[in-house]
Amino acid sequence: MKLDIQTGQWRLGSGPGGLGSDFRLLATGDICPSRGWKLDELFTQGPDAVRAVYGDILPMLADKDLSVANLELPLSDLGQPIIKDGPALQGPPAAIAGVAFGGFDVVDMANNHVKDYGPESMLETVELARRHGLGVVGVGRSLEEAWQPLFVERHGLRVGLLAVAENEFSNATPEEAGAGPLHLGPVCVRVSTARQQCDLLVVFIHGGNEFCPIASPRMVRDYRAIAESGADAVIGHHAHTVQGMEVHQGVPIIYNLGNFLFWAPASSEDALWWVGMIVRLHLSGRTCVGVDIHPTRMDPATGHASLLPPAQREGFFRRLNRLSEIQTDPQAHRRFWNAYCLFRLPHFLARIKETRDGMDNPKLRVVAAAHLKNLFCCEAHWEVISTGLELIRQGRENDFAAEREELISLCQSAT
């Protein structure tokens, strides 16, 4: 999938241009008004403050038949932070007004923070979203319920939405509520079943390596398998940066949208954090006939978002096309992925040593166990570790210098 660098559009079988009576599905990446951060404040200060957050993006968000956003955290006063790896996030219930202000029809809650304050906090958020007119997909009171698709009627079509997340600390189990886990076999079965119950089926996946612009070989394999099982589109988020795109057997796969409205103090210097993209898919029957990409930026000083300025859009689209080119060339993709794993492996090895030492300290043992579990059980982490170790075993540590150099360049700027 190669975008026109002037318009950010892809059209099936022709150049950029208008489309007819296609169904327009719009999706954004992470929305996260975490308590004590700028979006928490802005989302609870009334309509004028919220309108300033969305800025010139609002009219574009309204150009759709159905829109879905990833709600990255619970909005609740219930619960206590769970023991996990990474920060525990929670926002105030009043912030739901800021989410709803974007005109979204559905929030996807299958992600790695939705159960940060326990299942009660998550379930209260589900009810809160529904009271504000938002459909909810990707979570449930049980494993089976979390895997259930949401069906929405629009313009005479029955649209199915299904959402899952990689396996960290928020996923449902047979005994506990949570998000739908990315267990490929069961998920593909549910995709195939849902395919028979709707006119269009879109699957959302929360996964990948943070700040890595390359989707991993496992992600490519799994996302394509989900497409082959019956999805009409597969859309990813979580990596806090955009990744490439492709059309696989006629199915658009958007590997990662990056952030949308996610202000975090620790990321104030990270260029990739503040730039994401919104995708609008044009679907005619079950065929994707067009894709529109709208790059967005959040101002770290104000917490206000905007469409990326015209002067930066061409660079964004060129970079995205390069990522898609790498993604769909098997040999290049493998070499870039190997370069990333070797670059990232020392970080994970240091974490393993640190947390292994913590296992011997009674005061740190429980937290250290959580950190180790995440390193070994989250797909995004163990894939880097296992790939990097295998490359070292093969004596190939110095084989990917050119790819490493370009990868570092791709990580320094989103435009």
21 band by pLDDT with thresholds 50, 70 and 90: confident
Does the pLDDT of residue 279 top 60, yes or no?
Answer: yes
pLDDT digits (tens, 9 = 90+) for 331-388: 999 999 999 999 999 999 999 999 999 999 999 999 999 999 999 999 999 999 999 9
Domains, the chain, ordered by start = 9-328 (3.60.21.10), 332-412 (no CATH)
- Report the pLDDT value the prediction gives residue 314, as an integer from 0 to 100: 96
pLDDT digits (tens, 9 = 90+) for 295-305: 999 999 999 99
Coil, helix or strand at residue 396:
coil
- Report the pLDDT value the prediction gives residue 258, as an integer from 0 to 100: 96
Q: What percent of the chain has pLDDT over 70?
A: 98
Between CA 275 and CA 414 the distance in angstroms is 7
Between CA 261 and CA 236 the distance in angstroms is 16
What is the CA 8 to chain-centroid distance, rounded? Answer: 20
What sections of 110-216 are H helices per DSSP? Answer: 119-131, 143-146, 184-195
Q: Which of 341, 344, 370 is nearest to 355 (CA)?
A: 370
- Report the pLDDT value the prediction gives residue 270, as an integer from 0 to 100: 85
Q: Count the neighbouring beta carbons within 10 Å of the beta carbon of residue 413.
A: 13
Does the pLDDT of residue 147 top 60, yes or no?
Answer: yes
17 band by pLDDT with thresholds 50, 70 and 90: low
Does the pLDDT of residue 412 top 60, yes or no?
Answer: yes
pLDDT digits (tens, 9 = 90+) for 82-106: 999 999 999 999 999 999 999 999 9
- Report the pLDDT value the prediction gives residue 20, as an integer from 0 to 100: 63
Please, are residues 76 and 90 in contact by the beta-carbon 8 Å criterion? yes
Q: What percent of the chain has pLDDT over 90?
A: 96
Predicted TM-score (pTM) of the model is: 0.96
pLDDT digits (tens, 9 = 90+) for 230-278: 999 999 999 999 999 999 999 999 999 999 999 998 776 688 999 999 9
Does the pLDDT of residue 19 top 80, yes or no?
Answer: no
Please state, rounded to an integer, the average pLDDT across all residues of the chain.
Answer: 95
Does the pLDDT of residue 18 top 60, yes or no?
Answer: no
Residue 338 Rama label (left phi>0; alpha psi -120 to 50; beta): alpha
- Report the pLDDT value the prediction gives residue 13, as an integer from 0 to 100: 76
